[in-house]
Structure 1
Amino acid sequence: MPPTASRARREEILQLANTTGLASVEELSQRCGVTASTLRRDLARLTADGRLARTYGGAMALTAHPEASLRQRTGEAYAQKRAIARWAAAQVQQGETVLLDAGSTVGALAHELRAAKDLTVATTGLTALHEPADVESVHVECLGGTLRPLSQAFVGPLTEAALERMTFDRVFLSADGVTADGGICEADQRQTRLKELMARRAAHVYVLAHTEKLGRAPFHAWAALPPGWTLVTHRTALRDQVTPFTDRGIRVVQVEPLEEPGGGASQSQGGDA
């Protein structure tokens, strides 16, 4: 293979590693159309050049994926988050007990739930705690613990102990990234452990994720999700972003933009994962 083609392939490897955060040799060889041994030579060259860090079976980009604060994330994909939150709020029925994760999209959902009647809301997030705090028809339960400043979320053994004493009709989870095979990707293992526990305590599990989070794995902590969970994203998600989920039988809801007349949601429905 000519040197120029080798360089182009190595740049493609870097781009893929930077996008996903972690890529296996098998994934990279399929993507680049070369053998695994050729890929390993490319990885060795990129590592020697200081452009890539090797892991067992794959490669990790040296480009950092710093965790954004909740304040930084609030303005991202704002219209998508509002549309997702509006749809999610419409699923909640009077008299239910719901569990809200931390995060900006779930915070937007908490704002929508201010109009709810006879509702109990338990949450691990400060934003979701503050939004309905002054609404008399919403009973608020705070799952305390150790406050994580970046995510404005409670985590740790005290939070987990509180969860073990409650069950919920629905849980709405946030994600830094979400994939069909891995589940929810986060920066902190305390967060992923907590999300797994939250999912186990609810009859219906929803992951709220705007399109930029689909298929992304920027960190190395994961929360596996139980069968039958629902991914709620935006109508603008591309087919190749959605297909990996529906192929695994995961229910995907793509909400319409709020500004479109006759909005609502289009669903691509699968069976249990």
Structure 2
Amino acid sequence: MSVTFRHPEILEIARRNGKVTVDGLAEHFGVTLQTIRRDLADLAETGRLERVHGGAVLPSGTTNIGYEERRAINPDGKNAIARACAARIPSDISLFLNIGTSTEAVARELIHHTNLMVITNNMNVANILADNHECEVIVTGGQLRRADGGLVGTLAAETIAKFKFDVAVIGCSALDRDGDLLDYDIQEISVSQAILRQSRQTYLVADHSKFKRSAPAKIASLAEVDTFFTDRPLSADLSRACANWGTEVALSDV
């Protein structure tokens, strides 16, 4: 069966099951695993699927994919971004880390930093940094989002307003072509905006998979970010916009 015929059927299986696996598709079509991986890469490149470990899922403009599946998207790229970001963060400062798999990767890279005060609305970040006895961890409180360990809502935003941190490291669910940072959860938007208001310097960590995604709620613009850590070059238009805004784009080496 040619690629022309496989792709629509792969998309139909993904719509029916919510996810496709490399092994399952190779058996279904009677082709090699390598062939299916190329098919999924092609479909992901055009934004029709989103690659996860062992397969792919349908992207959504209104609903985020599952937490474990998000963790499986581009882990090498996220880890490289996290290393580059953590290298910019000195010891002896106050720091905010918000919700997301990329910010959790940054937390893992901070395990040997000293004398940090870390404020977070991410239970996973708190658990990661609990192993660093040179780090004071403050959890905001708020409504627990069980799907990913995030704390959201009014209480989280009110707690954040009591601080002024040296650096905030934030993530986003999607990055629009005009430089808007987007998210799926309306309750998270006010929390993220509070983080931006209370931070002296803001770093965004987002890998290239966010460039092709869409989400309904706007957090802020890249114009409000000091440094954007990512793993692929931006479009020429967005690169020019960042230069005009004074937003540094830091490309990591994967």
Q: Shared topology, TM-score over 0.5? A: yes
Map 1:171-186 → 2, pairs under 5 A: 171-179=168-176, 181=178, 183-186=180-183
1:233 to 223, 226, 230: 230
How has the CA–CA distance of structure 1 residues 222 and 238 changed in structure 2, closer, same or farther, with 3 Å as cutoff? closer
Q: How high is the sequence identity, in percent, across the aligned residues?
A: 22
Structure 1 counterpart of 2:239:
243
Contact residue 124 and residue 154 of structure 1 kept, 8 A: yes
Structure 1 counterpart of 2:87:
90
Q: What is the DSSP-based 3-state SS (H/G/I as helix, E as strand, rest coil) of the residue aligned with 2:182?
A: strand
Count of residue pairs brought into register by the alignment: 193
**CA–CA separation in structure 2 for the residues paired with 1:123 and 1:143:** 6
How has the CA–CA distance of structure 1 residues 230 and 179 changed in structure 2, closer, same or farther, with 3 Å as cutoff? farther
Question: What amino acid sits opposite 2:239 in the alignment?
Answer: T
Contact residue 177 and residue 238 of structure 2 kept, 8 A: no
Structure 1 counterpart of 2:7:
none
Structure 1 counterpart of 2:11:
none
Structure 1 counterpart of 2:215:
219
Map 1:19-38 → 2, pairs under 5 A: none
Once the 2 structures are TM-superposed, how far is the Cα of residue 242 of structure 1 from its aligned partner?
Answer: 4.9
Task: Give per-residue Cα distances to partners, 1:76-121, cap 9 Å, x unaligned.
Answer: 1111100110011111112101000111110011111111111111
Q: Which runs of 4+ in 1 moved over 6 A?
A: none
**CA–CA separation in structure 1 for the residues paired with 2:86 and 2:60:** 35
**CA–CA separation in structure 2 for the residues paired with 1:157 and 1:105:** 24
2:197 to 176, 193, 200: 200
2:154 aligned with 1:157, yes or no? Answer: yes
TM-score by length of 1: 0.65
Task: Give per-residue Cα distances to partners, 1:55-88, cap 9 Å, x unaligned.
Answer: xxxxxxxx84431122211111111100110011
Cα RMSD, aligned residues only: 2.0
**CA–CA separation in structure 1 for the residues paired with 2:213 and 2:226:** 19
Question: What amino acid sits opposite 2:137 in the alignment?
Answer: V
Map 1:80-159 → 2, pairs under 5 A: 80-159=77-156
**CA–CA separation in structure 1 for the residues paired with 2:237 and 2:149:** 29
Flag structure 2 segments of 5+ consecutive residues without an equivalent: 1-58
**CA–CA separation in structure 2 for the residues paired with 1:173 and 1:188:** 15
Contact residue 184 and residue 192 of structure 1 kept, 8 A: no
Question: What amino acid sits opposite 2:85 in the alignment?
Answer: A
Flag structure 1 segments of 5+ consecutive residues without an equivalent: 1-62, 258-273
**CA–CA separation in structure 2 for the residues paired with 1:180 and 1:199:** 21
Contact residue 232 and residue 255 of structure 1 kept, 8 A: yes
